[in-house]
Chains A and B, each alone.
Chain A
Amino acid sequence: MSVKVLTANRLTDGEAVWLGANGDWLDHIDGALVARHAEAAAALEEAGKAAIRSNLVIDVNVIDVEERGEHLYPVRLRERIRQLGPTVRLDLGKQAEKPAANAA
């Protein structure tokens, strides 16, 4: 079943980030605050609007993810690529920082 998390790009360097349970923006999707029902998703939307006003991040979006064990797996390929980095340059992006499954 798909649930939702809030993602954005960090203002200073444009890096993809996800909203964590403690309100911080995380560099990796695992640990993101998961919305499991409509009210929680609406709260994420509100958090997104507040985040834009706070000028920490830009391009804020609620996205669908699946919970796979301890990991969160974005439903759309676009978001899986954002999560990892270019599939054609495994030496770049977040995939280069820590071992992770290929996006494709």
Chain B
Amino acid sequence: MYRYDEFDHAFVSARVEQFKDQVERRLAGELTEEQFRPLRLMNGVYLQLHAYMLRVAIPYGTLSARQMRKLAHIARTYDRGYGHFTTRQNLQYNWPALKDMPKVLDELAEVEMHALQTSGNCIRNVTADHFAGAAADEIADPRPYAEILRQWSSMHPEFSYLPRKFKIAVTGAERDRAAIQVHDIGLHLKKNEAGEIGFAVYVGGGQGRTPMVAKKIRDFLPVEDLLTYTTAIMRVYNLNGRRDNKYKARIKILVHETGTEELTRQVEIEWLALKNSDLKLPQTDVDAIDSYFRPPHLPQRPEGWSALASARKADHAFAAWVDQNVTPHKNPDYGVVTISLKPIGGIPGDATDAQMDLVADIAEQFSQDEIRVSHEQNLILPHVAIADLRIVYDLLLTDGLATANAGLITDIISCPGLDYCALATARSIPVAQRISERFADPARQADIGELKLKISGCINACGHHHVGHIGILGVEKKGEELYQISLGGSGDEICTIGDITGRGFSSEEIVDAIETIVDRYLEVRTDKEETFLAAYRRLGAAPFKDALYSEAANAA
């Protein structure tokens, strides 16, 4: 894992001291809210419905056990004993007092963490594939490049006041688990014909009120040009991005209005001027960062396979968990474990302080001291020996962390919605809970197979509903919550924005509507191998709309 150098320590400590002073001046009335608001947002402090909220950055979703324990300690000491893992691989505390914020940031700094650039019109926390450095299908670990981008973008003077926020995601495998095509910049690590590592560069993706799939503007960018090219994109955006209208200020609108070809031309011209500048990455610098992310030494553990076979036979629940929540690792004696934060009827992404401590203990003992946060609001143990799966499962069971539903219909992404969020227009968590309960039966979930269901409580789409195989958007209409359904979205390498089915459904109707869609899928799929998304892509919206609206009409 990356470890702070002296510069990082000094930089974060200086920011904590600065913010401490700003909080004191605010509480003393020396700063008005108008003056203080942009300062608190730059330090991750929002105001929500019930209290302040602190959003802590988890760069590319990677945590050590020590860091996770600190997050648990903060939850226990300054909050209400839990935290919420977000679709940006971050953690949010829902109840901290303003006066405690400097202490919390001090505590975070002790473990090389902070809340910088988790808000504001800057380059936000860089996200990456949560299976990075472990997945069997990976070409290269995306995290060294995410770290280089983090260092370059932190407090970047030129890019601290962009037209709007800016999100970068990096993936290192053909299977895109980081949803790079719905980011402002998406980087796909790949090899060229000569076997060299570089990036396919995507620009202008995003969700929110105007969802768009990013456009590929370069098929192969050498690693040494990562910062020169990214800077060129940022400069074109910073200069030409719209500042007259908040809703048209993201780079996706610039790409759309300018046209991909013309925008690419502008970027390439800017790049020519930058290409041989100081931003060109020397291989020694790349190697230095890369050394922090070297794969851990994993001892041979071949005995695991026979033990696994007998453990599976003895316990069907364990077998189901292995099938669903363990993914192939680069080392065949190991697996990548997804810890579901989606217990049946639970709040997606929430973890108690005790659960965080437990995960930290397990990671320390059984996963090379590494934990990942996924944008799907789960936690990952990236390096677990097959031989240790049973004991890890048993430990997870002790605190409700062994739900065998990764990638299934109850593994729902949900934003906090109107239960917490000041921007929300409808609740999303209770809808997620009711759907989870409706589909609780493990056999039914397994029969339905892979189905990504994502819920947002407002048009800003933090719950990624646009790229849900089934997406739900909650809005307020005539004072009531109304839920709009979209189908066929996908955030992976074949990225699509879901199609809205038609009129929305009330809170009472929405779970039945989802069940209607799922039942229709089970009727029309060719066989069990055809996933919901594949069936939708083959058949289009018609059979699902027919089921939804003719049935609704019949009922009425």
Contact = CB atoms under 8 A, between A and B. Distances in A.
Contacts of B347: 88-89
B80 interface: yes
A12 B99 contact: yes
Given A13-B98, A14-B97, A87-B430, A58 B49 contact: no
Given A75-B479, A88-B419, A13 B51 contact: yes
B481 interface: yes
Contacts of A77: 418, 427, 476, 479, 481
Interface stretch (A18-26, A33-41, A42-50, A78-86): A78-86
Interface residues of A, number: 25
A14 B430 contact: no
A89 B479 CA distance: 22
A98 interface: no
Interface in B76-98: 80, 95, 97-98
Contacts of A58: 33, 47
Contacts of B50: 14-16, 82, 85-86, 92-93
Nearest to A60: B33
Contacts of B32: 52, 55
B419 A12 contact: no
Contact of B420 (A9, A15, A86): A86
Nearest to A78: B418
Contacts of B47: 9, 14, 58-59
B49 A81 contact: yes
Interface of A is mostly: loop
Given A87-B427, A88-B429, A13 B418 contact: no
B114 to A, nearest CB: 20
A93 B95 CA distance: 9
A76 interface: yes
Q: Which of B33, B422, B479 has the most CB of A within 10 A?
A: B33
A81 B428 CA distance: 13
Interface in B424-454: 424, 427, 429-430, 433
A81 B418 contact: yes
Q: Which of A14, A78, A85 has the most CB of B within 10 A?
A: A14
Contacts of A82: 49-50
A88 B27 CA distance: 32
B432 to A, nearest CB: 9
Nearest to A87: B419
Contacts of A93: 50
A70 to B, nearest CB: 24
Interface in B212-255: none
A20 B79 CA distance: 28
Contact of A13 (B99, B422, B433, B479): B99
Contacts of B305: none
Interface string B35-55: 000000000000111111000
Interface string B462-479: 000000000000001001
Contacts of A92: 50, 80, 95
B29 interface: yes
A76 B419 contact: no
A81 to B, nearest CB: 6
Contacts of B429: 86, 88
B98 A12 contact: yes
Contacts of B51: 9, 13-15
A12 B97 contact: yes
A89 B418 CA distance: 13
26 contacts: A11-B27, A11-B33, A11-B98, A12-B97, A12-B98, A13-B52, A14-B47, A14-B51, A14-B98, A16-B49, A16-B50, A52-B32, A52-B33, A55-B32, A55-B33, A58-B33, A58-B47, A59-B47, A77-B427, A77-B481, A78-B424, A85-B50, A87-B427, A87-B430, A88-B427, A104-B430
Given A77-B481, A81-B49, A87-B427, 11 more contacts: A11-B26, A12-B97, A14-B50, A14-B52, A16-B49, A59-B422, A75-B479, A86-B420, A88-B427, A88-B429, A92-B80
Closest 6 CB pairs of A and B: A86-B419, A14-B52, A13-B97, A14-B51, A55-B29, A88-B429
